[in-house]
């Protein structure tokens, strides 16, 4: 419309035409500047809205991360405890198996100890003065008993069964059973003066304590 008006104005008014053109240019520039400011304001508002919307989502993600880390730590602790319990159970089971192998024969050994006791009493009961060539049968019988006793002690030792004959040793309540206490001249109090019945140990464990008499202080 303005351009049309400019064409209608006669050329004899050059100053008026120039003024109208300047006014038109200023209006166009003002409109462009206003449009640019509006665009910047819209963009800034949009960014602020995006920041406002992203803040709760970011907080939720952080909270979820913390929860997952706590759950991971808890599961790791439980896993380590389960591994430790399993290892302890394995060691206990292995120990029980080993003890069963070592001490599973102790009932049988106890029964054999009675046989060894009988052999010992039999050899002790034979009068040594009767062991002469004039009594070959008694001598042969005695030698057979002695050989049997020696052989059975070898078998005992092979399977970890050792005899306890602690004459003169210190009294040990884990290996000895005191039948009596009595003062004995020349003997140290607390030592063993007499062994009434020998004891036995199976792989270091007392199977039968020795029955002893202990020296008592005067």
Residue ranges per domain, the chain? 61-159, 161-217
Instruction: Write the pLDDT tens digit of every residue in 27-56.
Output: 565 555 555 555 555 565 655 555 565 677
Residue 5 has a pLDDT of 45
Rg for the chain (alpha carbons), in Å?
Answer: 56
Q: Which of 127-131, 151-155, 182-186 has the lowest mean pLDDT?
A: 127-131
- Name the percent of the chain lying above pLDDT 90: 41
* Mean pLDDT confidence for 95-112: 84
161-217 belongs to which CATH class?
mainly beta
CATH of domain 61-159: 3.90.20.20
pLDDT of 192 > 60? The answer is: yes
Residue 12 has a pLDDT of 46
Sheet with 205-208, side-by-side order of all strands:
161-164, 199-202, 205-208
Confidence of residue 103 (pLDDT cuts 50, 70, 90): confident
Read off φ and ψ for residue 127, nearest 5 degrees: -65, 130
- What is the rounded distance in angstroms from the CA atom of residue 134 to the CA atom of residue 107? 43
Residue 11 has a pLDDT of 46
* Mean pLDDT confidence for 206-213: 94
């Amino acid at each position: 419309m303005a351009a049309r008006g400019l064409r209608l104005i006669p050329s004899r008014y050059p100053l008026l035409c120039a003024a109208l053109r300047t006014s038109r240019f200023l209006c166009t520039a003002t409109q462009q500047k206003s449009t640019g400011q509006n665009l910047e304001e819209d963009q800034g508002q949009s960014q602020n809205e995006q920041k406002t919307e992203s803040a709760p989502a970011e907080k939720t993600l952080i909270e979820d991360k913390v929860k997952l880390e706590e759950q991971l730590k808890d599961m790791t602790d439980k896993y380590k405890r389960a591994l430790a319990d399993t290892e302890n159970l394995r060691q206990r089971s292995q120990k029980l198996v080993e003890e069963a192998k070592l001490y599973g024969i102790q009932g049988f050994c106890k029964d054999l100890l009675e046989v060894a006791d009988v052999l010992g009493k039999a050899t002790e009961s034979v009068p040594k003065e009767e062991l002469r060539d004039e009594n070959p049968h008694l001598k042969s019988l005695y030698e057979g008993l002695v050989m049997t006793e020696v052989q059975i002690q070898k078998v005992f030792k092979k399977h970890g069964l050792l005899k306890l004959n602690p004459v003169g040793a210190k009294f040990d309540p884990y290996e000895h059973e005191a039948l009596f206490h009595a003062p004995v001249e020349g003997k140290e109090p607390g030592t063993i003066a007499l062994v009434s019945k020998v004891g036995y140990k199976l792989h270091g464990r007392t199977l039968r304590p020795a029955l002893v008499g202990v020296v008592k202080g005067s």
